[in-house]
Amino acid sequence: MDNLLKRFTRLFFLLLFLLQTTHSFSQIANNEIVGIWFNQEKAAKIEIYQQEKKFFGKIIWLKEPNENGKPKTDNKNPDKAKHKDPIIGLVILKDLEFDGKSTWEGGEIYDARTGKTYSCYLTIQPNKTLKVRGYMGISLLGKTNIWTKAN
């Protein structure tokens, strides 16, 4: 009986340790997307940052920053007042929130190449890449890109 009690106690503490460790990882994962990422084509670097409980991303580098000898601007934006805004510094990810597991959702992604804004979610993959899914309406109708950490 004494041996059974020891085994039960060890098992109990092992399970308690595993639960605490899992909880700690989810705490850490909250800001795992923060940093600088290459887009899929490696044509841009996006800095993802946190403001309060939400996450945002802005373009900080372009492989080809100029067009016709001048810095690229947001000339495809449906708001004509933004056509002269530079692409570098443009916030393209907005209002993402961590779901407590491995996904940041509820936000939007702006595609400066087309001037369109989509709903989106981001998911950290096991190989530490970032799955970026932009969609209209339901996530089945969309496109996925894989971003890689730049730093």
Tens digits of residue pLDDT in 42-90:
999 999 999 999 999 999 999 999 999 999 999 999 999 999 999 999 9
Query: How confident is the model at residue 73, as a pLDDT?
Result: 98
**Is residue 105's pLDDT more than 90?**
yes
Give me 73's structure tokens: 């601007």
DSSP annotation string for 112-142: TTTTEEEEEEEEE-TTS-EEEEEESSSTTSE
Q: Give the CA count within 13 Å in the CB-facing half-sphere of 85.
A: 17
Write 80-84 long-range contacts (CB < 8 A, 24+). none
Give me 67's structure tokens: 């067009």
pTM: 0.80
